Amino acid sequence: MKRSSKTFLALGLGLVALPTLARAEEPVATGHRFSLYTTAGAQAYLSDTRTIGGVGGGLGVRDTLDDRFILQADVSFLSLLGNAASVRVGAGVQRRGTWAPAALVTVTSLFGEHLSFLTPEHREPVPGPAVSLGVTLAPVRFDLREVQISVLQLGIGAGSDFPGLGLHYSVGLLEAGVSF
């Protein structure tokens, strides 16, 4: 082989092996890591029969398993469309390392004051909370072992107001957590 071919072959093999070597140097934590976090953002549940949500913040707890899997629950108080509360439970996966984007499957329940719309299918207001199943993506998220920060979270979900479908939208503007 020519010298330039050998150089390109060595460079290519080095680029392939580099991620493996970098991963071998990073310590992988095993077990549980518990965190307490605060969140700030906006949520809205919109259907033909009601609108509930607002802007606000809340508190939550998170368990990270093996620096990869996330289990979390939080409660938020929302205002703007009246006074409402959100209870969210989620499970998902994050990337290991300092930059740790995450994806979660969430179940969200919004309850409290809301706007009701009477339709031929719903001649009375829909009682109870607005429950939805959805997905939350956190692409700008950082894990510094003791501190976790997420600058942007986008979520979408769907729930039912029988008959009819409601859509749940959420935007997390800031989330900051501390491990203990």
Name the pTM for this structure.
Answer: 0.80
Listed range (5-9, 45-49, 56-60, 111-115) with the worst mean pLDDT: 5-9
> What phi and psi values does residue 11 have, to the nearest 5 degrees?
-65, -45
In the chain, the DSSP E strands lie at: 32-46, 50-65, 69-80, 84-94, 102-112, 115-116, 130-143, 147-160, 165-179
Q: Is residue 109 predicted with pLDDT exceeding 60? A: yes
CATH of 28-179, one of 3.40.47.10, 2.40.160.20, 2.40.160.100, 3.40.50.300: 2.40.160.20
- pLDDT one-digit tens code per residue, 116-125: 888 888 788 8
Cβ within 8 Å of residue 54, ≥6 positions away: 42, 43, 44, 78, 79, 80, 81, 82, 83, 84
Which band of pLDDT confidence, cut at 50, 70 and 90, is reported for residue 149? very high
Better pLDDT: 136 or 17 = 136
Measured between alpha carbons, how far is 90 from 132 in angstroms, rounded to an integer?
12
Torsion (CA) 94, 74, 42, 48 in degrees, nearest 10: 110
Residue-level pLDDT at 125 = 85
What residue ranges do the domains of the chain occupy?
28-179
Compute the average pLDDT of residues 154-179: 94
The 10 Å Cβ neighbour count of residue 135 is: 14
Mean pLDDT, rounded, for 59-75:
97
Mean pLDDT for the chain overall: 87
- Computed on alpha carbons and rounded to an integer, the radius of gyration of the chain in Å comes to 22
Point out the least confidently predicted range of 16-20, 70-74, 99-103, 142-146.
Answer: 16-20
8-57 pLDDT, tens digit each: 445 454 544 444 444 444 555 679 999 999 999 999 999 999 999 999 99
Question: Which letter does DSSP use for residue 48 in this model?
Answer: S
Q: Which residue has the tokens 């998902």?
A: 92
> Residues 69, 57, 89, 130: is their CA dihedral positive or negative?
negative
Quote the pLDDT of residue 16. Answer: 47
State yes or no: pLDDT of 63 exceeds 80. Answer: yes
Report pLDDT for 24.
Answer: 42
